[in-house]
Structure 1
Amino acid sequence: MTVFPPHSGPRVPRSRHRLAVQVAGLFLVLATLLSATVASSGSAGAAPEDNRYQPSFVGAPYFAPGAVYTENFPDPDVVWDPETQKYYAFSTTTGGVYVPVMWSTDLVKWTARTNHAIANPNWQFHDALPDPSPAGSAWTSGDPRFPDGLWAPTVAKLSGSGSSAWVMFYALRVNDAGRHCIDYATSQTPDGPYTSPKQFFCSTTPLGVIDPDVFTDTATGKTWLMWQDQGEVGKYWSSLWMREISLTSAQSVDWAPSSTPVYLMNAGAAWENGVVENPSMVRTSDGVPTLFYSGGLWDSVGYSVGMAKCGPLQFSWTPICSRVGSGQSMSARQGMRGIGGSAVFSGADGANFIANHYWREGIEPGYPGNQRRLVSDRLHETPGGIAFSHEQGPVGIAASSGYVSVGPTRVLDTRYGFGTTSTRALESGEVFTLDLSAQTTSTTTAVTLNIAIDGAVGPGYLTAYPCGDPPVAASLNYVDAAVAGNAATVRLNPSRKLCIYVQSSTHLIVDLQGRYDSAVNAAITPVEPTRVLDTRPSNTVPAGGFVEVPIVGYAGVPSGATAVLVSVAADGAAGPGYLTAWQCGGKRPTVANVNYGTKWPAGNGAIVPLSQSGSMCVYSQHRADVIVDVFGYVSASGQRLRIASPTRVFDSRTSLGVVGAGQTVPVQVTGAGKAAAGSTAVEVNVTATDARAPGWVSVFPCSAPPARGSETAVLNLVTGQTKAAHVVVPVGVSGTSAGQICLRTQNATHLVVDLSGGYN
């Protein structure tokens, strides 16, 4: 193996290439890695004595000692040190230093390291790596302190052979063609200075190896070095590898005895554009090694975080990791594009986090006009996979809360840039953060919304949740570009924000209907589902017309009720359109409660304010039949909601199997991990998936089942599709049906129930 000495050539942007696959290339890489050895070591070279401040590129502010830093920080790596009780973050060369290092106690405010006992702030002795050049090598051109090619440092504390040390691995450019090798240096403190740099290994491929990351396996205690082989233009794609390492002294690292490289994966998914890089791994609670990586072109909005599940960590001629779905798991969120540069780390509480960089929204990613900034997300494991959140989530069950109608009021419409900074659709996998602090109070615990999509690029789902606490549940499922919506009650996080994840690219529309507030006395009284309007077969609402629906005095709704909980549906529509439900006598709002097509019935839940005469009105854009069912009402006295994070309490796919036509299924919704015992009603999202035929699903208290043929539908089945509805349902309070709700389906389908909270 040939190891080239470091060389500083002309400054060029970090490049990534679209590469073609050749099987022969795999054998070349594998043979190279199997023969890779540790290069000779020696003492570190002295730091230059005449270096003055110089940024690594135009637009990267000086990384000033001891100052808060919020600017360029690409390819971040983060570690937690229990001794100092601080997080330390490291990045690719920027801001005038080889390896910037900054510390934080909360992963939000980051402060650059102070100087290494030198007072002059213009000298670069707050650099974590004052001299990266291994002994016996020298820069041969350009400014020796600011090479183009020191990339993606990673830091870990290693132990072995009676010693321990903080070890930094980094990729260092060694020739003008952009070839990189991996070097390392050591320190006795996490923030450095890291000294005694040594060359570790290269591959014989023209562009070499980059993006080192250390993974300590909690299951085996083994420590691994991961990296990317950059591949070769026109021959084969980039690929990801790992190999076991060991600390042989306080200043030396070697491959573990008898270890061999492990082939993780190569680029192949369309979104990766021939590039996989920045490998990082964690063993998730299922015991499976889970690989996070970045894919796509680094300076594009398509750059994303990928995820794969891996087999046993041992030699294989084929990749041991398989993408979860397409692999693409996070690409953008509000104000952030091109998220990547992944590094998984353990937090102060033992939870897993992931650090990435991102480009600011509205600035086309590019070099050197834009900067990449650090963001850290908590990894939330769910039965559906991994969810990411950089917000603080709510804790425990919220205080019991009354209800206030505040709308409906539109708070977001990405089609027109309302409530956001652009008119673009959300990208697949994007999370949108919706700040509702202006529409709520400090005592607000949750909000009721109507959430709709428009122009989806394909089938998918969205999930609305309190930022920082993503659930398993879906709030809305969609199949095509047509407008579709669903009601949702969503808890807010301490900052009064909620997050919305979209599986496939779509525009997003959100209307606020009301809020739950611990300081409000008005509350909800659930009633047994009762139909109060059905215009079929002869009283169809004309296009542009409306129907007034008396509510007070019907379905158990008394005088004094200020709003009503209803399910509103359209059937037999003459064309695609919408229904709007509102308080009769008031101005009709310019929002939709139900979006319908012409092929099948469509419905949705709503909490609608009542007029002084106790009625509500329903408008239809096109000629359609309208059906209204009552589920409860709001008044000065009633039951208060105690909302928690959504919990899946029933899923026939993992328990009973397909629910048969006409079958009734009981679901326990109170007790440990569910709504509090004694709750008289619950708020649930009911989902039907893989329906065998058109039909309906009804939900009711098991203690009061409706007669066959008189059921009230909460959602309509569409063959092969997934449909969901949000509903408040009374529960049994005594006997064998205590704490239960029942579901009945007209035709065979799978059913899923997600619990949001209980009323008491």
Structure 2
Amino acid sequence: MNGQLYESSDARYRVTKQGKAGIVATVATVLCTTSLLAIPAASAAVPSFPDNLVVFPDRDFVTVEGYQDRIGQTATVEVRRPGGGIVGSAQSVVAAGDVAFEVNHPGGVCWGAGTGLNVTPDIRPGDVVSIRFGPTEVGATTVQDAYVNADSVLDGTTVTVRGYVAAGVNKNQMEQRIVEPALKDTGVGRRDVRAVPGPLTVDAGYRSGLEFDVDGPNTFTATYIFDEPNAARLAAEAVGASALAWEAQDANDNRQGLTIAEFREVGGPGMGGCPPRGEVATVPGSLMPVTPFRALDTRDSTAVGADSSVSFQVAGVNGLPAEVSAVVFNLTVAEAKSHGFVTAYASGTDKPDASNLNFGAGQIVANAVTVPVGADGKVTLFNRSAGTTHLLADVSGYYLQGTPTAAGAFAAVAPTRFLDTRSSKAVSPDSTTTFQVAGANGLPASVSAVVLNLTVAEAQSFGFVSAYPTGMDRPNASTVNFSAGQIIPNSATVPVGADGTVTLFNRSSGNTHLVVDVSGYYLPGTPTAAGTFQAVTPKRFLNTRDTTAAGKDSTVSFQVGGANGIPVNAAAVVFNLTVAQANSFGYITAHATGTSRPAVSNLNFGAGQIVPNSVTVPVGTDGRVSLFNRSTESTHLLADVSGYFLPN
């Protein structure tokens, strides 16, 4: 696993000042410790020996050392970019040995393994590489900014290596190094030569020194004078150069939190079948899908009181950046003591006249929510009922902060009621109603799609509602299913018609009232930036009623990438998931195929129920999404896709 990188299993990068050579590849290397004045500090402490993180930014390669007290446990490595959130992640099981595991290196795991963020990050100085077990971050290192920036120069028996060192780097703790295995057969007698700060010092077969600012500000110059011309030639012709930086050094000279930036090194992205390096979502309003995680569960504390609220932190937790514009999560009500509804909104803002989830006493019911995040990084949930209820929130993505301008970028708005037929006339059987989106309630005159919560009330018969862009053919898809007398909501992302309206079709034999609350919209135009959204007319991608029901505690997957016009490398998908003919109560978990199933739910159901919910989820490397049926009996599943997010 490590043969291409290390001289032996114990010849590590835990290098002391007296130094054991640890690199086999032919490289010139800069080792440095910085004061971190110019680079943001990591959110967790640099690992302590024997644990360590070693980052190779040019190859987007990370080595995790140690953590032998966690053998067999699954760790998550994440790359966070200040202002940009998580740009790369992977999971692996800790193995016995000095090397716990590696990411994007032969014998290791690929970026996206177990997380669904299937892109190799372009790791840069200032990025923070961290490791966590579950939600607990146990170590991090900030990628340093010092590197060799020119080929070595040979003049007689003198070799000169030049490079860049950023402001804030502690120049007294740098070591420049050239590694060439053939040097072992010269008077040097080993595979590497080194230059430390100060005047020329004598070593076997050569003299060396390291100076700063000789070629201008923020530069270093390493000089080697060899005893033998052949040794000088070998050192000068060594392929590549690297910049190593360690953030901490303990009493035993173990150097912790290493960055190794390799000059002219190629490979990494796409290596060994790993995903290629891609553009990372950076434009305001672009989506960053994440492996779903539970951000709130009041069953672990106190139920939300009648006509009371609870807030939960979004920004800055579980790898999310300190500022986000909006969040996508699945909201679940459990153990409700009375009927009522929940309203989600940005913490610190006025509670809107809107609902996200309606419930009855004793129900377990879920609905997807997309809502702005408050200035304090929180979302507030208000329980409008006469009794207490428990609330759960499972986060599956967030939108980047800033004013959206790119086509397909998302603009969050405070939830606003756009339609309420109770104020006019119920929708008749097999009839439609339309409502204005573009240009209404402060929305721009042109939008590509809208995120809304659709609620059915006072239905006179069972049936379903289809939401679609006005002027287009009605799709063979449902947005919300209902029974007579039910009050049931569902979130949906719906393309907007050319006239700026959305149409709702009541497929039932009775009248029903419809209520629509809008929480955001996507900008018009052809999306090109990573993480932006392309709406499609809703289309059915899965219907197990045509094949075989999903078995108890079993998984069904369906193709997204490359199907029905969706690009093969779509990053995430939005679809309406419906359970039908369930033979027992249970729940469904959606996740990217090939990743670990998260401990969250997307849809809860009872025996015999027809229950829908909107899902936003990453797509697996094979272009598929998996649906896990956690129940004691089989159930049928339907998936109607309404859009996708461009790949990172």
Range of TM-score over shorter length: under 0.3
Larger RCO (alpha carbons 8 Å, 6+ apart): 2
**TM-score of the pair, normalised by structure 2:** 0.26
